[in-house]
Amino acid sequence: MASALTQHLTADPAARPSLEARTAVVERRRRRTRLARLTYRTADAAMLLAASVTAIAFAPASQSFSNFAWGVAYALLTLLILEARGFYDIRLQDTPVDTVARIFAATSIAAMTLTALRAVVSDDPTLTGQIVRLWAFALVFLGAGRVGITLDRRRALRRGETGFNTLIIGAGSVGHLIARRLRERPEFGLRPIGFLDKDPLIDADADEGLHVLGASWDLEQVVQRYDVEQVVVTFSTAPHAVLLGMIRRCRELGVEVVVVPRLFEEVSNRVEVEHLGGVPLLRAATVDPRGWQFGIKYAVDRILAALALLVASPLLLALALAVRLSSPGPILFRQRRVGLDGREFDMLKFRSMRVATPAAEQELPAAEQEFVPEEGCAPGGVEGEDRRTRVGEVMRRLSLDELPQLLNVLRGDMALVGPRPERTSYVRAFEQHVYRYGDRHRVKSGLTGWAQVQGLRGQTPLADRVEWDNYYIENWSLWFDLKIMLMTVPALLGRHDVE
């Protein structure tokens, strides 16, 4: 690496930053990365030691130096497992649910390993209780500590207090999509500062505040001038050799590089890498929406829906009575929607609005009788005249009006998790004008979905919603469903009435 860097410097020394300047960029990023990892490791070690002390304190009979030593051993073993599983790698997106799941796995493996070791050297009858208590406290302490750090880091990133300056190579549609996503989601920690492209395919003003900062030969100057610490390589008209050279040059400069792969729509979380000589081959395991896995999913959904209806029956009866007393009209609102394989069904909701009289509808102008969403956005929320009742406002704010859709799940029209169904009047037009919109209908529609917990509810960009829905289908698993259901509650509590 050093020889390659030296040759690159001597090729045109006047046009390139000094070695000292580039070394400073490398060291700054490494220092920030080391500090972040040290903070995580120190916090986790403190939480694990606190868990060990607390577990021993809650069991007076086990208060001994030997048990404390085993507690320290458990903490060290857990940290080693987390390290080996890449827990301290800097991640683009790390949800609290994923964090707790990885902590659960590491603490469980450490507990089982410690149980086996202690069983070999000791015949203590209280061994199992001690280990279970230690595991429980470690899971709670470590999980709470790491989730707290993650949420605090997200808040700091949203306030712009930290994050990596990010250069995007390629100013085409994918490059601008990446820029827009990073600006919308500052919690990712990547702050876009501009593009690098000799022949931009999209006007540089398409993203306000972001411009094309140069071409491939300006890479080092841009890295130094804007303190670039992260590069995202998207699609560009630059030849393969030029892009490859830029990636290698970034690594020489100590700048982290991520690449958007070609045919990225076909790349799922189940990608395996094989090699044909020195050429990597990506094998993406596909999810079959008509396979036995989805058969199990739909069966489990029906069982859970039946249990939920049974448990929530007092609440459902109370809501039905409140709707009946709020205004004249039916208790349930039925609306024709499109689900699996384009089949239509009546989606159920508690009625949240006053029934419009035929005379009032005739007095409305034609443009107001049929709501038209903004271009590029999905319909949703309060459309046209606001006729919500007071009961309806509360129900929609808490999504309680959606509870009758458990009957749709029980009947097999819907699933608990999946793409939200759309009205028949919109679907036909969306299928013709929105990329991959029809692919959403490969699975049953859901009460909640991956797009919804990402904030894409109501009148939000339709293309984004479709992208997230198809991502869910192509990366589906029972764990993914559980993760979405766990994320649904905070997503509902943190939103306004949008659907």
Domains of the chain: 25-158 (no CATH), 163-260 (3.40.50.720), 292-354+375-493 (no CATH)
pLDDT at 365: 44
Task: Determine how many CB atoms are found less than 10 A away from the CB of residue 488.
Answer: 18
Angle at 238 between CA 232 and CA 239, to 5 degrees: 115
CA dist., res. 285 & res. 430, Å (int):
28
Least confident of 62-66, 224-228, 385-389: 62-66
Q: What is the pLDDT of residue 449?
A: 93
Q: What gap in Å lies between CA 78 and CA 298, rounded to an integer?
A: 37
Query: What per-residue confidence (pLDDT) applies to 374?
Result: 59
Q: How many other C-beta atoms can be found within 10 angstroms of the C-beta atom of residue 93?
A: 9
Distance of CA 67 to the CA centre of its chain: 40
Residue 65 pLDDT level (bands cut at 50, 70, 90): low
Which helix H or strand E contains 279, and what residues bound it? strand 279-284
Rounded to the nearest angstrom, the gap between the alpha carbon of residue 330 and the centroid of all alpha carbons in its chain is: 38
* Residue 295 tokens, joined: 């058969």
Mean pLDDT over 291-298 rounds to 92
Nearest of 162, 239, 168, 228 to residue 17 by alpha carbon: 228
Are 204 and 171 a contacting pair, CB within 8 Å? Answer: yes
pLDDT tier, 161 (very low <50, low <70, confident <90, very high otherwise): low
Residue % of the chain over a pLDDT of 90: 28
214 closest CA partner among 241, 234, 195: 195
- The dihedrals phi and psi of 417, each to the nearest 5 degrees, come to -125, 135
Looking at residues 322-346, what average pLDDT do you find?
Answer: 92
What is the mean predicted confidence (pLDDT) over 15-37?
Answer: 65
CB neighbour list of residue 88: distance below 8 Å, 6 or more residues apart: 37, 40, 41, 82
Alpha-carbon torsion, ordered 156, 162, 168, 171, to 10 deg: 50
Q: CA–CA separation, 102 vs 147, rounded Å? A: 12
Closest CA relative to residue 446, chosen from 406, 418, 474, 476: 418
Residue closest to 82 by CA, chosen among 118, 122, 37, 121: 37
Phi, psi for residue 249 in degrees, rounded to 5: -65, -40
As a whole number of angstroms, the distance between CA 188 and CA 191 comes to 8
This prediction's pTM: 0.76
Q: What is the mean pLDDT of residues 160-188?
A: 85
Strand 414-417 relative to strand 344-350, pairing: unpaired
Which is more confident, 119 or 99? 99
For residue 207, the model assigns a pLDDT of 57
β partners of residue 332: 350
242 pLDDT exceeds 70? Answer: yes
